[in-house]
Amino acid sequence: MAANWKMNLSLDEARDLLIRIKKNEIDFNKVDVLVAPPFTTLQLANELLDGTDILVAGQNMHWEEKGALTGEISALMLKEAGCSHVILGHSERRKLFFETSEIINRKVDAAIVAGLIPIVCVGETLKEREEKKTFDIIKAQLNESLEFFCEKESLPTKLILAYEPVWAIGTGKTATPEAAQEVHLFLRRWLLENFDHDTGEAIRILYGGSVKQGNIKELMFQPDIDGALIGGASLEPDSFLSIIRFYES
Ligand code: PGA
């Protein structure tokens, strides 16, 4: 269960939320938990979560190691700030910051080289879905965002994919579990076609888009949905905790 805080929460709000999560009894044999706060909150998150099993991720990074790149952050800087993961290719980055799959491909490669685990997001817009282009779009995003790995026919099994239909993000409209599963199965088959069987089966595929307490269980019941990337509902302790503890209900 990965929390994408986006550009939300002050340091005080973040501290309160993390302390609440930390105090809760989470069965880490049943669930992995990750939070992706804004850059300026990473250090606080790492300090507060030290000694717990909760992981910390960056929400973005540049592919270069260092240089004259005002406003950017490198994979090594994220690692130094205590991150194990980084979200790459989120639709907000693609749409609002003009990130192409080619850029994402470079970032994924740089993250792996630096020892960070990328959470690579793909997803179609409402228009693309209505035009029945969902699978073509997803396939192109996968081929281009993971091009280096497709060429090598090898993908680190720790890498995580996230299917996030753009029309479901922050809109309250969740894909039905069956519709999400259909795309997750497509992603799984794409993995199995491009990489060896063990890799194809091992890669975790998260669903993202208006995940909340009321729909997490049904989503997690689907065979190819291995977890969730949660935006809005991860900002409030009770709702995030009830999602994390989906296994109890
Ligand atoms: P949401 O965001 O849960 O608020 O829809 C999900 C995401 O963008 O990762």
Q: Torsions phi, psi of 82, nearest 5?
A: 100, 10
Span from the CA of 69 to the centroid of ligand 1 (angstroms): 28
d(CA 214, CA 239): 10
Give the model confidence (pLDDT) of 56-94 as tens digits. 999 999 999 999 999 999 999 999 999 999 999 999 999
Q: Which atom of ligand 1 is nearest to the CA of 6?
A: 8
What is the structure's pLDDT at 249?
77
pLDDT at 172: 83
Q: Catalytic one among 124, 128, 164, 184?
A: 164
Superfamily for domain range 2-248: Aldolase class I (3.20.20.70)
Question: Tens digits of per-residue pLDDT, 153-178?
Answer: 999 999 999 999 999 988 888 889 99
- Scanning the structure block, which residue is given the tokens 């993995």? 191
Cβ count within 10 A of residue 63: 20
Supply the residue whose CA is at minimum distance from atom 7 of ligand 1: 231
Instruction: Dump pLDDT digits (tens) for 82-132.
Output: 999 999 999 999 999 999 999 999 999 999 999 999 999 999 999 999 999
Give the pLDDT score at 170: 86
DSSP designation for 235: S
Q: Which residues contact 194 (CB under 8 A, 6 or more apart)?
A: 146, 150, 153, 155, 200
Return the DSSP state at 194: H
Instruction: Give 82's contacts (C-beta < 8 A, 6+ positions apart).
Output: 42, 43, 45, 46, 56
Rounded (5°) CA angle 5-139-75: 40
Q: Whose CA is nearest to atom 1 of ligand 1?
A: 231
Number of Cβ within 10 Å of residue 133's Cβ equals 14
Q: Residue 32's closest CA among 3, 6, 75, 61?
A: 3
Per the annotation, the verdict on 72 as an active-site residue is no
CA of 5 to the centre of ligand 1 (A): 9
pLDDT digits (tens, 9 = 90+) for 1-39: 999 999 999 999 999 999 999 999 999 999 999 999 999
DSSP letter (8 states) at residue 7: S
Instruction: For residues 186-210, give the mean pLDDT.
Output: 97
Known catalytic residue at 90 = yes
Which of the listed residues 9, 210, 213 should we mutate to test ligand 1's pocket, taking the one with most ligand atoms within 8 A of CB? 210
- Joined together, the tokens standing for residue 146 give 């993971």
pLDDT per residue over 199-241, tens digit each?
Answer: 999 999 999 999 999 999 999 999 999 999 999 999 999 999 9
Which atom from ligand 1 is nearest to the alpha carbon of 162?
A: 9
Catalytic residue among 62, 85, 90, 184: 90
Mean pLDDT, the chain, rounded, equals 97
The verdict on the CB of residue 78 being under 6 Å from ligand 1 is: no
